[in-house]
Structures are given as C-alpha cells and as structure tokens.
Structure 1
Amino acid sequence: MRIIRRITALVLALGLLGTAAAQEGKLKIATVDMQNLFKEYHRTNDAQKQINVERARIQKENNERLARIRELDTDLQNMRKQLDDPSISDSKKQEVYRDWQMKQNEGIALDRERREFLQRRNQALNEKMVQRMKGILEEIRKLVEEQAKKEDYDYVFDKSGLSTSQVPFLLYTKDATDITAVLLEDLNKDAPAEPAGEEAAAPEAPAEGGE
C-alpha cells in the first residue's frame, strides 16, 4: 500500500475552484475521501486483477527456471559423491570433475539470468502499475473538479490526505459537505456485475524481488 500512498500524494492536490464566494465573505466548502474513492472504484480493482495475473505469470516462469537450477544442483551433488568414492578410478574422477565444473558454471549462469529476469520483469510491472494507478487517480480528480464546479464549491479538501508527519491535513471544517458517496456512485455507475461469491481484490504494492 505504500506505493499507492505515494502516488496519491502526487496527484490529489485540489486547488481553488472559485473566489466569488470568498469575496462575499462566505465560502462553500466540500470534503472528499480520495483514498476511499480510489479503493472502491471498479477500475482500480480491474487494474489490480490484471496486475495479479501478470505477477503470477512472472512467478510461474521464475519457478520453471528454479526447477532447472535445482536439477543441476542435484546432479552436482551426485557427481560430488562420485568424486569422494574411493572405488572410482582417478581417470574417471577427472572426467567427472570436468563435467562437475561445467554443470556448476551452467548453474551459476542460469541463476544469474533468473535473477536478472526477475528484477527486469518486476521493475517493468511496477512501472506499469504506477502509470495505471496515476491514470485512475487523475480520472477521479477530474470528476471531483467537475462536481465542484457543478455545485459551485469554492474549495474541495481531501480528508484522507496526510502530511509528511502522517497527520491529516484536514483537522476541522465547519459546514462542509462530504461528496464522497455521490462521486463513488457516479464512478461505479457503469461497473460490470461481480460474479457471485467473488470479492474485489484490494490494491497491493508491486512485487519486489523473488527467491
């Protein structure tokens, strides 16, 4: 969730929407819970499901690479036993040792390639997730702005926003209207029906490195 909080902090600043009411001495203020809108928006869950599918695909390929490396490791252990076997001739041991070296180098190379693959694919997936989530947040921000203009609000404050010290920016407002529910209904008006028994996946942070 930390990466989503960082994305949210980058795109959820909502500016002044009008000054006429301020000049008259009375402001029309609204609040919105951007974190809740983001979490409950059906496009957020759709994007998360797609990310999870891609993450599972990466893990599957990583497991296949690990399986080959473990096969080589088993071969190396068996060859080591032959090298320690006093009943095997020296000439045979030299042949086994050459094969052991080749397999060991192959295993090292395969593991290096696997780690590079995992880092490369996870980094690309993280970047894709960041771009998708930023796009969704920008879509929500525009909807907030449209609603604010429609209702002639002077200010709209994100009540879920936190400062760098993790203290809410908005501590108190007088006579502010919370427009979160109205916006959420608008966002999800075209949401596809969820299959029976299926729960929406909560947004997750992108995968880090693997084994």
Structure 2
Amino acid sequence: MKKLLSLTLVSLLVLPIAAWAQGTLKIGTVDMNKTFRDYNKTKDAEAKINDAKNQAKKEYDERADSYKKALDDINNLNKQLEAPALSADAKAAKAKERDDKIANIKNMEREITEFRQTRERQLQEQALRMREGIVKEITDVVMERVKANNLDLVFDKSGNSLNGVPVLMYSRDNVDFTADVITALNKPGRPSSFNPNAAASPAKESTSATSSATPKKP
C-alpha cells in the first residue's frame, strides 16, 4: 500500500569478511516488501491507523460544522445591522453580539488548527512505532534463519539502489527464503515482541486531508 506503513528496505544483514576471502559464501535472499505486505500484523496495523484517521476526521468535521454555523450567525447579524428601520439601541446590541461571536470564532479557528496539527503528529508517531515494531519482528525471524542455515550474506531482493536499479540483479530461486519467513511470522501462537494495540495512540487526519475542508474566516 502506498500508505504510511509502506516499506522499501535495502538490507545487507550479514557480511563476514573472512567468508569473502575464502570464497565459501552462503547467500540467501528475502523479498522484504512482500514479507512486510503479507505479514498479518501489517494488515492489523493498517486497519488500526485507518480507524484512527476516520475518528480524527469525524472529530474534525464536528468542529468544522460548528465553525460554519458560527460564521453563518455572524453573516446574519451583519445583514440585520444593515436594516434601515433598526433602532440605535437595537443596532448597538446586535453589533456587540456580532463582535462577541467574531472573538469566539477566532478562538475556534485556533482550536481547529491545533487539533489538526496534533492529530497529524500523533498519527505519524503511531505509524512509525508500528512500522518499527513490524520491521524488527521481520528482521528477527530473518536472523533466526540466518543462524539456522549458517548464512553469510542476505540480500533484500526487493531493494533498489539510489539510481533506481535493483541491488540484486539475479539470484537463484533456491536461495530465496521469503516464504519461510512469512510462514514463521504468521504462525499461530508465535511469541511476539510487537503488539499493535500497545503501539496505538490517539490519531489524527493529515494536514493535506483536512486543510481543504477548513472554513473561510469571516
């Protein structure tokens, strides 16, 4: 997914210099993008972040609706103040009411801006914690396979160089152990160091997603 949890990881996990010199390298490959995508906890984390975004959007919309109603009230008062038949006392009272509402709506503007910024930061932090936890679990399982099979070198076959060229141009299928890693990660009852629920925090809608809905100032 081209979302907050998307992963492009170029990994060089083990590189013993002595093995290079002896010409006895045992090499393995892992597709980290596929592993990340197919890990059940990635899907769980994505769902939690989407839920948090939706909740933040709902809260933002409630604030935006209140702002719009307040703005309509001010516009209505301005129209009433233009009425020729309005007495001086009535005009003064309505002018004061309008000014009070203008002061209040400015406070609402600040509160909406702070809410949006806070939620954006919280959602980014939540996604980062989840991503780091998932990557650590994947790396731990890869390292278990490295030790079990006495591998010297492991490449991420999904990784690209800075020039956009695959780091690994070719490898035999029999050195790839992506499927084994995914199976191990998704095994029921597997001990886990990462809990998506523990990583969750109050979330927010991104600035780009909410700023377009921000009502105009009076």
Q: TM-score band, normalised by the shorter chain?
A: 0.7 to 0.9
Q: Give the gaps of 5 or more residues in structure 1.
A: 192-205
1:174 deviation in Å?
Answer: 5.7
In structure 1, how many angstroms separate the alpha carbons of the residues matched to 2:103 and 2:165? 54
1:169 deviation in Å?
Answer: 1.7
Q: How does 1:44-193 map to 2 (within 5 A)?
A: 44-173=42-171, 177-190=175-188
Q: Give the gaps of 5 or more residues in structure 2.
A: 190-203, 212-218
1:19 deviation in Å?
Answer: 5.8
Which AA in structure 2 matches 1:40? D
Contact 1:18–1:153, Cα closer than 8 Å, also in 2: no
Change (3 A) 1:17 1:190: farther
1:109 deviation in Å?
Answer: 0.9
1:87 deviation in Å?
Answer: 1.9
In structure 1, how many angstroms separate the alpha carbons of the residues matched to 2:182 and 2:130? 19
Q: List 4+ stretches of structure 1 deviating above 6 A.
A: none
Q: Say which SS state the counterpart of residue 35 (structure 1) adopts.
A: helix
Q: Say which SS state the counterpart of residue 67 (structure 1) adopts.
A: helix
Over the aligned positions, Cα root-mean-square deviation in angstroms equals: 2.3
Q: How does 1:196-207 map to 2 (within 5 A)?
A: 207=205
Contact 2:32–2:158, Cα closer than 8 Å, also in 1: yes
Change (3 A) 1:48 1:175: closer
1:81 deviation in Å?
Answer: 1.0
Change (3 A) 1:145 1:14: farther
Change (3 A) 1:136 1:17: same
In structure 2, how many angstroms separate the alpha carbons of the residues matched to 1:163 and 1:37? 19
Q: Say which SS state the counterpart of residue 169 (structure 2) adopts.
A: coil
- Number of aligned residues: 194
